[in-house]
Amino acid sequence: MRSFRVAYAIARKDLLSEWRSREMVPALAQFVVLALVIANFGFQIDSRNAPAIAPGVLWLALVFAGLVAFGRAFTAEREQHTLEAVMMTGAPPTAVFMGKALGAAALLVLCEAVLLPALTLFFGTPFSPELVIAVLLATVGMSALGCIFAAMVAQLRARELLLPLLTIPLWIPFIVAGGQAVQVAMGAGGELDKALWLLVDFDILFLVLTSLAARFVLDD
Amino acid sequence: MTRNRYNLAAAGAVALMLLAAGAIFLYAPTDALQGPVQRIFYLHVSSAIAAFACFFVVLVGGVLYLWKENLAADRIARASALVGLVFTTVTLVMGMEWAKPIWGVYWTWDARLTSTLVLWIIYAGYLLVRRLATPGRQAARFAAVVGIFGFADVPIVYGSVSWWRTIHPGPVVLNDALPPAMLATFLFTMFCTLTLAAVMVVIRYRIETLQDTMPIAEVVPSGAVSATNA
């Protein structure tokens, strides 16, 4: 019970500080729109090839926006040494980690709230509940993994360099299954259920693994 | 005395690899369909198995370190990660050499190729974490976490990609599809490659131990130090 309270408090603190500064969300939204602009000129997108290209653009934009979001998740904590203070309160490391992951995931969801409509608006691809479910399911596991490595690299040199190298390989399962789900949701053939259940499995597995690892990454 | 033993082990491993080369090129029959290209198979599969064995040691070493804070476990994980990365590189390069004449392309996004590439990237990241973290407890802990996640990730990448597409040949050895002379060559090559990997890990372990426990001046002969400084 206490763990839930700690996680909630940490996530609330992160979101409140974002609400007061309003730095990350506008920047991420702009970043996502810019990614769509680049995709448009890179691929020469028209109404015929859009359904084939849009899923790829979605995941590229989401992965890189995610890296930016998670890369920033521990910046303030590091600069002000607040993470040490939080750990000294005796709060369970897993709960602190979950709180941080929840806060970062919320930012990523806000970013998706811009990305998905923008994709429909600019590329004319269908916007469906299946699409939203697939992206949200992938966000759960991706946030857990992104956050554990963000916590790790925050304590290292060359952190901007190392975060993508560690995170992207572990995100690949989510991109494979999520990519398949989004392709089906945008009109390609295939089994949507299988891809979605696979995403659920990955979420459970990596939530368990990251909560176990949190102790070793945060508690130094 | 100890130095002699390491030299002997290294020489033995090299001799075994030369014998394996002899078996591959002189003893094993030429494949009826693929021709001489098929000879890549022996070392390709052997080094893949050696690489997986190394990464399994990294996993076990990482778990042992996190559990017991055992420094030797961490050093053996460190040594195995490097050797495993070398064998993964060999596997990838030889696989591409084989794929070009047989499949017509060097690379395809098949489950095995993708997961092997991801494996390579993850353990390259593992070595980077080791380099960038503060040496000691932090480096060992973080690397152990990366090693454990990496080992969990690779079968998943394999599984998730193979849901949708795969063209890599199946496990011919287990399916009893090899003629006896080829099977003998393969088993011998695998034995030699695993021995080579083990010897490399042992030597690397020795280097890691020396680096951890001795001041630099005692590890590196004084001539070598001044040479690198100059």
Tell me the per-residue pLDDT of B205-227, one tens digit each, with 9 for 90 and over. 999 998 888 766 555 555 554 44
pLDDT for the residue B181: 87
Minimal Cβ distance to A177: which of B137, B141, B160: B160
* pLDDT for residue B58: 95
CB of A17 within 8 A of CB of A106? no
Q: Which of B78, B86, B65, B87 is nearest to B210 (CA)?
A: B78
What total number of domains does chain A contain? 1
Predicted pLDDT of residue A81: 85
Instruction: Tell me the pLDDT tens digit for each residue of A191-208.
Output: 888 889 999 999 999 999
Q: Does residue B26 sit within a domain?
A: no
Percent of chain B with pLDDT over 70: 87
Residues of chain B positioned with their CB less than 8 A from the CB of A155 = 133, 138, 142
pLDDT above 60: residue A209: yes
A15's CB contacts (< 8 A; 6+ apart) are A103, A106, A107
pLDDT tens-digit profile of B153-204?
888 887 777 776 656 666 666 666 778 888 999 999 999 999 999 999 999 9
CB–CB contact A213 B149 (8 Å): yes
Confidence band of B84 (pLDDT split at 50, 70, 90): very high
Do the Cβ atoms of A213 and B148 come within 8 Å? Answer: yes
Work out the percent of chain B whose per-residue pLDDT is above 90: 52
Shortest Cα distance, chain A CAs vs residue B110, angstroms: 12
Q: How far apart are the first and last CA of chain A?
A: 24
What's residue B219's pLDDT?
55
B107 touches chain A (CB under 8 A): no
Question: Shortest Cα distance from B53 to chain A (angstroms)?
Answer: 20
Query: CA triplet B186, B191, B197: central angle to 5 degrees?
Result: 120
Range of the domain at A96: 2-218
> Residue B220: its pLDDT value, please?
58
DSSP-derived letter for residue A81 is T
Closest CA to B200 of B26, B16, B1: B16
CB B160 within 8 A of CB B2: no
Residue A189 contacts B where some CB pair is shorter than 8 Å: no
B99 lies within 8 A of chain A by CB: no
Residues in chain B within 8 Å Cβ distance of A216: 66, 141-142, 144-145
Residues of A in contact with B147 (CB under 8 A): none
Mapped onto helix, strand or coil, the DSSP state of residue A89 is: coil
Q: What is the pLDDT, as a whole number, of residue B228?
A: 44
Question: Which domain does B131 fall in, by range?
Answer: 39-169+183-212
Residues 6+ away with beta carbon under 8 Å from B211: B219
Cβ pairs bridging A and B (under 8 Å): 79
Model pTM score? 0.86
Answer whether residue B150 shows pLDDT above 70: yes
Give the per-residue pLDDT at B46. Answer: 94
pLDDT (0 to 100) of residue B229:
43
The beta-carbon neighbor of A209 closest among B66, B133, B152 is B152
pLDDT bracket for residue B230 (50, 70, 90): very low
Q: What percentage of chain A exceeds 70 in pLDDT?
A: 100
- pLDDT band at residue B115 under the 50/70/90 scheme: confident
* pLDDT, mean over chain A: 90
Task: Tell me how long chain B is.
Answer: 230
pLDDT for A72 beyond 80: yes
Report yes or no on B34 lying in a domain.
no
